[in-house]
């Protein structure tokens, strides 16, 4: 059964020592949400300090931006969505590593996780997941467009930390595009799976 397979994967993941990142973080941060039949899988970049403490993705300030927009859709929620990251250990100073660590995490965990979860759709948050999951770069030009990744209908959008930064600069245009992308994903989920709105 998919749930037990994913649960086993997460237990195995918690003991990972495959790269240097495990030595500098509190814990491995595994995905949260629907592990049986997700209508959507959201993939971010990496845990920050708040996530490292809580053991859950997207709980810090950037996560609050994301979760507020998801709530506004009245469609995307914890019951129908699996939320994960490209890497599972918080990198030192929150700087995404440029060595082999991300590739190790993607090949060892993320691709297996996607294969077991079998989400109907994926939403990639920012340039890092776009690169490591879809093999593309350039989030500004790629965002808002549907792709096929591992046979899954996939959209990318800005990372919520970027939206938070733009908000602080007084630029609300990027937030509007971010919300537009998420609302498009939500509308498609609603059309394809009306039961997800219950």
CA atoms within 13 A on the CB side of 40: 29
Residue 193's pLDDT is 61
Residue 52's pLDDT is 98
Task: Find residue 41's DSSP bridge partners.
Answer: 82, 122
Per-10-residue mean pLDDT for the chain, 198 residues long? 77 96 97 94 98 97 96 96 98 96 98 97 98 97 97 98 96 96 97 57
Q: What are the two backbone dihedrals, phi and then psi, of residue 183, each rounded to the nearest 5 degrees?
A: -65, -35
* Reported pTM: 0.94
d(CA 182, CA 65): 12
The domain over range 2-197 is classified in CATH as 3.40.190.10: no
Residue 14's pLDDT is 96
> Closest by alpha carbon to 26, among 56, 51, 61, 52?
52
Q: How far is CA 23 from CA 10, 51, 87, 119, in A?
A: 18, 16, 14, 31
Residue 25 contacts residue 90 (beta carbons within 8 Å): yes
List the domain boundaries for the chain. 2-197
Encoding tokens for residue 146?
């549907």
Tens of pLDDT along 29-58?
A: 999 999 989 999 999 999 999 999 999 999
8 contacts: CB under 8 Å, gap ≥ 6: none
Distance between the two ends of the chain, CA-based, in angstroms? Answer: 24
């Amino acid at each position: 059964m998919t749930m037990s397979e994913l649960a086993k994967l997460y237990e195995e993941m918690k003991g990972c020592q495959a790269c240097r990142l495990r030595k500098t973080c509190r814990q491995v941060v595994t995905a949260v949400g629907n592990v049986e039949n997700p209508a959507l899988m959201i993939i971010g970049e990496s845990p920050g300090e708040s996530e490292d403490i809580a053991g859950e993705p997207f709980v810090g300030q950037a996560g609050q931006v994301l979760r507020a927009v998801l709530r506004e859709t009245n469609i995307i929620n914890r019951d129908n969505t699996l939320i994960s990251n490209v890497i599972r250990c918080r990198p030192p100073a929150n700087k995404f590593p440029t060595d082999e660590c991300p590739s190790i995490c993607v090949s060892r965990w993320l691709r297996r996780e996607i294969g077991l979860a079998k989400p109907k759709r994926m939403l990639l948050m920012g340039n890092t997941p776009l690169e490591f999951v879809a093999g593309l770069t350039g989030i500004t030009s790629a965002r808002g467009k549907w792709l096929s990744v591992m046979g899954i209908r996939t959209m990318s959008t800005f990372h919520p930390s970027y939206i938070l930064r733009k908000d602080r600069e007084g630029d609300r245009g990027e937030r509007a595009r971010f919300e537009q992308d998420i609302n498009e994903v939500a509308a498609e989920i609603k059309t394809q799976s009306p039961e997800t709105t219950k």
